[in-house]
């Protein structure tokens, strides 16, 4: 499933993250590419070990932790520390699939990439092109969100970034290993959680139906979760 998560960053946080990444030393984006991606990728990226990437990444991780929608949709077990890229002057990233396993350089930290995430740091009016295009069973979905908003999508999906023909598209990107490996199971839990919250808003958290539905949610999570 593809889910947009609005307002992950507040206006102040967005300003701070943008200031940190823009002051960083940008390098060739192929530093983190696999063999297939390297053939399709043309952009700039902050080196993942750089101070700027680490500082901005920590700010993003703090923001993610308080986003109820992100947690409900991703059910994260591990989050790869966010990286940051920039597209200008016709740069693009052709159709590709993200690596199944991501390893942080110089450490034993590794995750299975169940979900990919793009956190937009540039407003849509600041650049032309640059849409994230994700292919799924229902066709292509084109995503270009306001700054501070995030999109989640299966890491197994074919996706690309269209050429940026004006301005600069700056974004954070990272991967999530979910407690729920299967995308279909994760969708069921997400929809059930949303239904429980809707019933609770109407009847109150103490309503017997809400209590039973909450139990169903947690028993499914208990059955499917990998820790």
pLDDT score for 22: 95
* pLDDT tens digits, one per residue of 113-163: 999 999 999 999 999 999 999 998 778 999 999 999 999 999 999 999 999
Domains of the chain, with CATH numbers? 3-178 (2.60.120.620), 183-224 (4.10.860)
Of 194, 172, 186, nearest to 80 by C-alpha is: 172
Rounded to 10 degrees, the C-alpha dihedral 84/87/91/96 comes to 40
Give the distance between the most distant pair of CA atoms in the chain.
58
DSSP state of 48: T
User: Distance (Å, rounded) from C-alpha 149 to C-alpha 147?
Assistant: 6
Instruction: Per-residue pLDDT tens, the chain, 227 aa: give them.
Output: 899 999 999 999 999 999 999 999 999 877 655 555 566 789 999 999 999 999 999 999 999 999 999 999 999 999 999 999 999 999 999 999 999 999 988 889 999 999 999 999 999 999 999 999 999 877 899 999 999 999 999 999 999 999 999 999 999 999 999 999 999 999 999 999 999 999 999 999 999 999 999 999 999 999 999 98
pLDDT score for 76: 98
User: Distance (Å, rounded) from C-alpha 18 to C-alpha 30?
Assistant: 22
pLDDT score for 136: 83
Q: Give the predicted TM-score (pTM) of the model.
A: 0.93
Of 133, 46, 32, 128, nearest to 88 by C-alpha is: 128
Rounded to 10 degrees, the C-alpha dihedral 25/10/109/222 comes to -160
Contacts of 66-72 with CB under 8 Å at 24 or more apart are: 67/5, 67/8, 69/3, 69/5, 69/6, 70/5, 70/8, 70/150, 70/152, 72/190, 72/193, 72/194
């Amino acid at each position: 499933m593809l889910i947009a998560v609005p307002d992950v960053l507040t206006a102040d946080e967005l300003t701070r993250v943008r200031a940190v990444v823009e002051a960083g030393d940008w390098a060739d984006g192929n530093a983190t590419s696999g063999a297939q991606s390297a053939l399709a990728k043309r952009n700039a990226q902050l080196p993942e070990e750089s101070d700027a990437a680490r500082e901005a990444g920590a700010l993003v991780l703090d923001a993610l932790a308080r986003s109820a929608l992100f947690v409900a949709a991703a059910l994260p077990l591990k989050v790869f520390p966010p990286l940051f890229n920039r597209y200008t002057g016709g740069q693009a990233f052709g159709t590709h699939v993200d690596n199944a396993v991501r390893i942080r350089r110089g450490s034993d930290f590794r995750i299975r990439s169940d979900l990919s995430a793009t956190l937009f740091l540039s407003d849509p009016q600041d650049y032309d092109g640059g849409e994230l295009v994700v292919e799924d069973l229902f066709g292509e979905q084109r995503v270009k969100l306001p700054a501070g908003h995030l999109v989640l999508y299966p890491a197994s999906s074919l996706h690309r970034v269209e050429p940026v023909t004006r301005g600069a598209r700056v974004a954070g990107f990272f991967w999530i290993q979910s407690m729920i490996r299967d995308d279909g199971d994760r969708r069921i839990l997400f929809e059930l959680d949303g239904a429980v919250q809707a019933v609770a808003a109407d009847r109150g958290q103490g309503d017997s139906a809400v209590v039973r539905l909450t139990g169903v949610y947690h028993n499914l999570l208990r059955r499917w979760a990998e820790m």
